[in-house]
Amino acid sequence: MVNAVVLDANALLMPFQFRMNLDKEISRLLGEIRVMVPSSVVDELSRLQTREAKAALALAGKYELVETGLDGDDGVLDVAVRNEAAVVTNDRELMSRLKEAGLPVVRLRSERYLVLTGEGPD
C-alpha cells in the first residue's frame, strides 16, 4: 500500500508537456495521499529557464517541501527511502534505481494517465 508519493522534476513538468492533471491522476490512482517534493527538485527546476520549468516550480509550491542534502535523483531517492514513498517519474535511470531499492514507481502511460508499478511481489 502506497501512503505517500515523491514528485521528481519530470513529474512536475508532465502537466505542461502533456496537458494532464497531475493532482487528479494521483488521486485517481492512489486516493488522498501525502505528496512531497524534495528540495533537490526545486533547486533543479530553479536552474532551468524554460516557461514549463517556471510553471512546474510554481506547481511544486502546492506540495510539501522536504529538505535533502543530496542533489538531483539522489535527493529524490533519499526522500522516497526516508518516507517509504512511491516516486512519480518517467526518468528511466531513476526508475531503475527505485526498482533496485524496492520502491514503487508511478509513471505516465500514453501521455494521459498514471500507472503504479513495482508494488508488492512481482
Hunting for cell 536552474 — which residue is that? 47
- 118 is a domain residue: no
- 121 is a domain residue: no
Q: What is the CATH number of the domain that holds 40?
A: 3.40.50.1010
- 122 is a domain residue: no
- 53 is a domain residue: yes
pLDDT band at 24 (very low <50, low <70, confident <90, very high): very high
Tell me the residue range of the domain where 94 lies. Answer: 4-108
- 27 or 121, which is more confident: 27
pLDDT band at 119 (very low <50, low <70, confident <90, very high): low
Contacts of residue 34, defined as CB under 8 A and 6 or more positions apart, other chains included, come to: 3, 4, 5, 64, 83, 85
pTM of the full structure: 0.93
What is the C-alpha R_g of the chain?
Answer: 13
Instruction: State the cell numbers at 22.
Output: 497531475
| Identity of the residue numbered 118 | G
Residue 120 pLDDT greater than 50, yes or no = no
| Domains contained in the chain, number | 1
- 120 is a domain residue: no
Work out the percent of the chain whose per-residue pLDDT is above 90: 89
